[in-house]
């Protein structure tokens, strides 16, 4: 859930990760109160814009975040009252006297009662300290089997008054080896770009992501922009851009959770 903003206008935003939230009938039954809260607070609203090529299953309902998809995370962090510290890379975790001692790359450590790790599996397996010994060999084999897809996301920001004339708000691109999804992001979120300017999001295919994983962001961005000329030939030149490398985009092969539970004893 990553939202970028134009360096010239913070109101001009682009969702570089998840594009919308899909509530399945199962989730509606299990978590309706969460959806009700987000809708009441205006964090979410129903997706009414045309997403060309989107597959909608019976009973599904889609929502967008008017202020960007990251506003969902910000809402819950604010509600929880937690103190958030950004930009600290964790390198080692030790268990000391029923407390977790967390070491940071920049130096120093802090003690915590509970730790929740939400990063991709390969990054968990890179952690040093006691945590390495707490994962059994069989669990490690299961976790090592997890495979992720990779993709790049490009955000294009425009000056106010720029016109992008297409009949859809977003579109899944079929049979293109480079690009799989394009969104006129303000239209997708039903935001008028008259004052802040429109924004465009481009997602690459996972095959392109894997093939260019080691290349520089600048080189990859140039290729994406070149390929966009065939998808949207009349797309104006953006005022600014941002490109995100999702090294761990989506899990293509997951581990067997039941097997992990058995291995836990």
Residue 263, pLDDT > 50, answer: no
128 with 245, same domain: the answer is no
Write the pLDDT tens digit of every residue in 165-216. Answer: 999 999 999 999 999 999 999 999 998 877 789 999 999 999 999 999 999 9
Residues 115 and 153 in one domain: no
How many structural domains does the chain have?
Answer: 2
- In this structure, the answer to whether residues 199 and 245 fall within a common structural domain is yes
- Give a yes or no: residue 221 inside a domain: yes
Would you say residue 57 lies in a domain? yes
Is the torsion defined by CA of 236, 241, 242, 245 positive or negative? positive
Alpha helices for the chain (secondary structure H):
25-40, 70-80, 121-125, 131-134, 137-144, 185-188, 206-211, 217-231, 257-263
Q: What is the mean pLDDT of residues 239-248?
A: 96
- Mean pLDDT, the chain, as a whole number? 92
The fraction of the chain above a pLDDT of 70, given in percent, is 96
What is the rounded average pLDDT of the residues 252-261? 64
264 pLDDT band (50/70/90 cuts)? very low
CA gap 23, 188 in Å, rounded:
17
Band of residue 256 on the pLDDT scale cut at 50, 70, 90 = low
pLDDT on residue 195:
79
pLDDT over threshold 50, residue 229: yes
Q: Is residue 142 part of a domain?
A: no
pLDDT at 260 over 60: no
* 105 and 217, same domain (yes or no): no
108: left (phi over 0), alpha (psi -120 to 50) or beta: left
User: Each residue of 141-168: pLDDT tens digit?
Assistant: 999 999 999 999 999 999 998 999 999 9
> Are 248 and 164 in a shared domain?
yes
The mean pLDDT value for 74-82 works out to: 94
In a domain, 13, yes or no: yes
How far apart, in whole angstroms, are the C-alpha atoms of residue 194 and residue 148?
39
Kindly state whether residues 231 and 115 are assigned to the same domain: no
Can you tell me whether residue 221 is helix, strand or coil?
Answer: helix
Domain extent for 129: 90-134
The span from the CA of 232 to the CA of 106, in Å, is 44
Distance CA 31, CA 48 (A): 22
User: pTM value?
Assistant: 0.88
Mean per-residue pLDDT, 69-73 = 97
pLDDT digits (tens, 9 = 90+) for 99-152: 999 999 999 999 999 999 989 999 999 999 998 888 889 999 999 999 999 999
What's the pLDDT band for 258 if we cut at 50, 70, 90?
low
Is there a single domain that holds both residue 120 and residue 164?
no
Q: Which CATH number goes with the domain that contains 167?
A: 3.90.660.10
């Amino acid at each position: 859930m990553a939202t970028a903003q134009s360096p010239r206008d913070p109101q001009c935003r682009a969702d570089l990760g998840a594009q919308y939230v899909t509530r399945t009938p199962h989730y509606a039954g299990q978590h309706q109160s969460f959806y009700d809260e987000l809708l009441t607070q205006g964090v979410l609203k129903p997706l009414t814009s045309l997403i060309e090529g989107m597959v909608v299953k019976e009973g599904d309902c889609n929502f967008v975040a008017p202020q960007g998809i990251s506003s969902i995370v910000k809402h819950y962090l604010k509600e929880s009252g937690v103190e958030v510290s950004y930009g600290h890379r964790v390198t080692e975790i030790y268990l000391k006297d029923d407390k977790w001692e967390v070491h940071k790359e920049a130096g120093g450590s802090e003690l915590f009662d509970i730790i929740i790790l939400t990063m991709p599996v390969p990054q968990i397996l890179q952690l040093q300290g006691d945590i390495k010994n707490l994962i059994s060999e069989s669990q490690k084999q299961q976790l090592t089997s997890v495979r992720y897809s990779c993709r790049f996301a490009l955000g294009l920001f425009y000056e106010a008054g720029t016109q992008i004339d297409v009949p859809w708000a977003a579109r899944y691109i079929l049979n293109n080896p480079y690009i799989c999804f394009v969104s006129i992001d303000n239209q997708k979120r039903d935001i008028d770009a008259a004052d802040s300017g429109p924004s465009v999001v481009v997602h690459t295919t996972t095959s392109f992501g894997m093939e260019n994983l080691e290349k520089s962001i600048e080189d990859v961005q140039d290729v994406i922009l070149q390929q966009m000329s065939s998808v949207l030939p009349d797309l104006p030149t953006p005022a600014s851009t941002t490109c995100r490398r999702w090294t761990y985009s989506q899990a293509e092969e997951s581990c067997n959770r039941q097997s992990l539970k058995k291995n836990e004893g």
